[in-house]
Every structure is written in C-alpha cells, then in structure tokens.
Chains A and B, each alone.
Chain A
Amino acid sequence: KAGVTQTPRYLIKTRGQQVTLSCSPISGHRSVSWYQQTPGQGLQFLFEYFSETQRNKGNFPGRFSGRQFSNSRSEMNVSTLELGDSALYLCASMSGYSGTQGVEQFFGPGTRLTVL
C-alpha cells in the first residue's frame, strides 16, 4: 500500500507570492490534516479535511487555506507569502475523521518551503 505523498518536496518562493502544496493520502483514507513545522514553534495544526469538508481549523491567518477533492487528495494554498512562512509543511492521512476512536495518523515526507 502506497504511503502519503506530497508534492513538491521543495519550493523556493519570494515574499508576496502565493504557493499551492498537494497531498495524496493513503488509498482508502478520507481524512487529511495539514501541519506547519518550524524550529521555533514545533508542529502546529493548520486544518483537517474529511469527505471534502473542513472539519477543524487551527489558529492561522486567512492567507492559509485548503481544500479536498472527491478522491480525497488535498491542496493547501498560502497567499501573500511572508518570510515567517518558511517551514516544513506536513500532511497526515487518517482512515476516519479525527474524532473517530482509534484512528492513527500517517504522515507524508513534507514539503520544504523557503520564502526569500
């Protein structure tokens, strides 16, 4: 069974640009969560999508948005990039919604975003 895939693996952008990251969950998994990881803040939750609906949202500005498609693939968009957005963006896949008992998270390799 293929794991969680994320594309691209590396990105370099300049301030003010926008970026779209993609995540394909494990086959059969319907939940995708996004996290931002930085040395200063650690792992911070961005949002969770389940069956094309955003179920939970973290404490990030509106410049961070996402969506999920009918095949469970998810995209995350960051508009008007700032230097502080440089981070490793991780996607996690689960078989069920986060509120379901016993669901385990499986992470992708991440997308390393550098904002210059």
Chain B
Amino acid sequence: KQEVTQIPAALSVPEGENLVLNCSFTDSAIYNLQWFRQDPGKGLTSLLLIQSSQREQTSGRLNASLDKSSGRSTLYIAASQPGDSATYLCAVKGGGSYIPTFGRGTSLIVHP
C-alpha cells in the first residue's frame, strides 16, 4: 500500500524567501504525482502534474521535481509572497492503484 509523507508539516517564512516542500512515497512504481494547494475551508487547486516519465515540471514561480528511485518529489517556490500562504498537498498515483494517495500536507505561512 502506497504511503505518502510530507515534511515539514508546517512552515513559516518571511516574504521573498525561496523554499522547498517535500513529498516522499514508499512505492516507486508510480504513474504520476500531482501537487495541489488548498486555502482554508476551500477545495484543492491543481498546481503541477508530473508524469512518471518526467523529471520536473515548471509553472511560473513553481518547480516540481520527481525522483522515483528515491521516492521523492520536491516543490520549489521562488520568491515567496503572502498570497502563497496555503496548505500544499501532494497526491501520488501508483503502487498498484489508480486511486491517488494524498499526503497530509505542508501548511505554509508567508509573512510580510
């Protein structure tokens, strides 16, 4: 059974910092990995989708990498802004299942 861990659980940084969020998974036989952000009490917004055959994806200030052999993905946020404050979740599809397994998320606060 696929297990997904996100570290750290919470992060508070000053505006302008570059930061890295981590997502680890136990079964490297994945189909894809998707990063989301969730604002309090709201639904999930898709940020990036990385296919199994890809190493990274970029969108604006966001860059996500995937290393299947080590069971890790990182989400890099450049020049963080207060509007980036949210919970970031990763979802891994694979490990014998087409149903994504979600991590518990990293709660990010970017203060001015």
B65: interface (CB < 8 Å): no
Least CB distance, A21 to chain B, in whole angstroms? 13
With A42-B104, A90-B44, A107-B46 as contacts: A101 and B31 at CB distance below 8 Å: yes
A64: interface (CB < 8 Å): no
A98: interface (CB < 8 Å): yes
A107 touches B31 (CB 8 A): no
Q: Which residues of A contact B51 (CB under 8 A)?
A: 101-102
Instruction: Give Cα A58 to B41, complex, Å.
Output: 23
Instruction: Give Cα A58 to B101, complex, Å.
Output: 11
Closest residue of chain B to A43 (Cβ to Cβ) is B102
B91: interface (CB < 8 Å): yes
Q: Which residues of B contact A102 (CB under 8 A)?
A: 32, 49, 51
A112 touches B99 (CB 8 A): no
Q: Which of A45, A48, A58 has the most CB of B within 10 A?
A: A45
Q: Which residues of B contact A90 (CB under 8 A)?
A: 43-44
B46 touches A88 (CB 8 A): no
Closest residue of chain A to B53 (Cβ to Cβ) is A101
Q: Which residues of B contact A108 (CB under 8 A)?
A: 43
Count of chain A to chain B residue pairs whose CB atoms are closer than 8 Å in the complex: 52
With A43-B89, A43-B102, A56-B98 as contacts: A105 and B43 at CB distance below 8 Å: no
With A48-B99, A105-B100 as contacts: A98 and B93 at CB distance below 8 Å: yes
Q: Which residues of A contact B46 (CB under 8 A)?
A: 104-107
Q: Which residues of B contact A106 (CB under 8 A)?
A: 46
Instruction: Give Cα A88 to B43, complex, Å.
Output: 9
Instruction: Please give the residue numbers on chain B whose beta carbons come within 8 Å of chain A beta carbons, in ascending order.
Output: 31-32, 34, 36, 41-46, 49, 51, 89, 91, 93, 98-100, 102-105
Ordered by A's residue number, 20 sampled pairs between the chains whose C-beta atoms are within 8 Å are: A4-B43, A6-B43, A42-B102, A42-B103, A43-B89, A43-B91, A43-B102, A45-B99, A56-B98, A97-B98, A98-B98, A98-B99, A99-B98, A101-B31, A101-B51, A104-B34, A105-B100, A107-B46, A110-B42, A112-B41
Closest 7 CB pairs of A and B: A107-B44, A43-B102, A98-B98, A107-B43, A109-B43, A99-B98, A104-B49
